[in-house]
Amino acid sequence: MPRISLPAMHFAPEDYAGQLKLKSQRLQALLNPFGCPALEIHASPKIGFRMRAEFRLWHERSTGSKTDKRCYFAMFDPAEPKQPIEITEYPIACSTISQCMAPLLEAINASAVLARKLFQVEFLASRSNELLVTLVYHRQLDENWQAEATLLANKLNASIIGRARKQRIVLQRDHVYETLAVQGQAFRYEQCENSFTQPNASINEAMINWAVTHARGIDSVEIRDLLEMYCGNGNFSLPLARVFRQVLGTEISKTSIASAKRNAQYNRVKNISFVRLSGEETATALRGEREFRRLANISLADYDFCTVLVDPPRAGLDSKTLEFIAGFDNIIYISCNPQSLAENMSLLGKSHRITSGALFDQFPYTDHCEAGVFLARRAQ
C-alpha cells in the first residue's frame, strides 16, 4: 500500500506493531501505581476497521471558472485548522464506506440540488454491508432534494438522511444492524444515526468478550445483579445479562435507551431493564434520595447488586459518582481516556484493587486507546 497521509494520524500499517507497543507501555506505566497486572493487549485490524466516518464537504471553484465548483471530502489538521486537506482515500474505513465515497462524491458534483450548501457527510456502516449516509446542509431541504436523494439512495444501495437546522428527513431508515459474536453467541444491535456507537467493530467485540469473561469469574455472580451506567444501546448490557440474575441499565440519551430496549427484544433478553437516567440521577435513585417517575414500573428493592459497569465520557467520573460506585464489590470500568481513568483510580484504588487490565486499540495510528480495568473490593 502506498504511503497515505491522514490528518492527526500517523497512518503507517507497516509500523503498527511498534505503535501499539508504545501505547501499551504508556498505559501500563499509567496504571502501575495502582497495582495493575500485565495488560491484555487487543490489537485492531490494520486497515478497514472504522464503521463510522465523518468528513467536511468542501466547495472549491474550478481553475479558471467563476461559476463552476468542485466538491471534495476534507479533513483538518489541528495544527492548521483552517486549511482543508482533500481526502481521496480513507483506508481505515471499512470497505462498505470506502467503496461508497467515490460514487457519492461523483453524484454530488453532478447535482446542484444535492451539492448546494452541503457542508458535511457522515457514514455509518455494519459488517453485513448495511450503510447509512447523512448529508448535512446550511439550508432547508425541499421536495427537489428529496427526489434526487431518493435516486441517490437507490444508486448507492444505502439509506440516506438529510439534516438541516430544525429539519431531519429520513428517506429509508435511520439505523443499521450490527452483529457481534460474544463467547460463541451472536448478538444483533440496532445502531442509530447521530447516536454513539463504538467505531471499531472488531475491538468492540473484544471489549465485550473481555467484560463477560471476567464477570463470569465473580463468586456467586449467578444469584446477584449488575448495574450498568452509561449503557448506550445495550452494547455491554445484553451479553452480560446472560451472566447475571438481572441487569439495570441507565443512560441519559432518549435515542440510545429506545435502541437498547429494541435490542433487548431482538435478542430475546428478558432479565434486563433500561431507564433514562443520568449518572447522578442513577446514584440519587439507588441511594433512595429521590423518586423518579421513570422508575415507576421498576422495583429497585428487588435488585441485589454486586457489580457495576461504567463506560463514561472522556472526562471520566465526577467525585459523587466515584463515591457511589466505590460501594459495589466489583467494578468494570471501560475508559476512552486512560488519563481520566488514572485520575479516577486515585480514589477507587483506596477501596478496590485491579485484578485485570486491558488495552483495546480502538483508534490505531493515533495516541488514543480504550482501556478496561476490572476492580475487586480489597479485603478488610
Give residues with Cβ within 8 angstroms of 61, minimum separation 6.
67, 68, 69, 70
What confidence score (pLDDT) does residue 222 get?
56
Residue with cell 447509512: 132
According to the model, what pLDDT value does residue 101 have?
Answer: 97
Positive or negative torsion for Cα 318, 366, 239, 266 = positive
Res 80: pLDDT:
86
For position 60, what pLDDT does the model report? 85
CA torsion, points 316, 126, 54, 369, in degrees to nearest 10?
30
Q: Are strands 305-310 and 225-229 parallel, antiparallel or unpaired?
A: parallel
Contact by Cβ (8 Å): 9, 19: no
Three-class DSSP category at 207: helix
Q: What are residue 137's DSSP bridge partners?
A: 118
- Residue 223, pLDDT score: 64
CA distances from 135 to 7, 88, 164, 353, 359 (A): 22, 18, 9, 47, 34
Q: How confident is the model at residue 8, as a pLDDT?
A: 82
Backbone angles phi, psi at 36, to 5 degrees: -70, 130
* Residue-level pLDDT, tens digit, the chain, 380 residues: 556 778 888 999 999 999 999 999 999 999 999 999 999 999 999 999 999 999 999 998 665 555 567 999 999 988 888 899 999 999 999 999 999 999 999 999 999 999 999 999 999 999 999 999 999 999 999 999 999 999 999 999 999 999 999 999 999 999 999 999 999 999 999 999 989 899 999 999 999 999 999 999 876 555 699 999 999 999 999 999 999 999 999 999 999 999 999 999 999 999 999 999 998 999 999 998 888 999 989 999 999 999 999 999 989 998 889 999 999 999 999 999 999 999 999 999 999 999 999 999 999 999 999 999 999 999 87
> Cα(first)–Cα(last) distance of the chain, in Å?
56
Q: What domains does the chain contain, in order, with CATH numbers?
A: 13-46+177-377 (3.40.50.150), 52-173 (2.40.50.1070)
Q: 16-31 and 338-348 helices cross at what angle (nearest 10)?
A: 20
Residues 6+ away with beta carbon under 8 Å from 284: 290
Identify the DSSP state of 62. P
* pLDDT value for 28: 98
- Active-site residue set: 336, 370
Q: Is 11 exposed, middle or buried (0-12, 13-18, 19+ CB in 10 A)?
A: buried
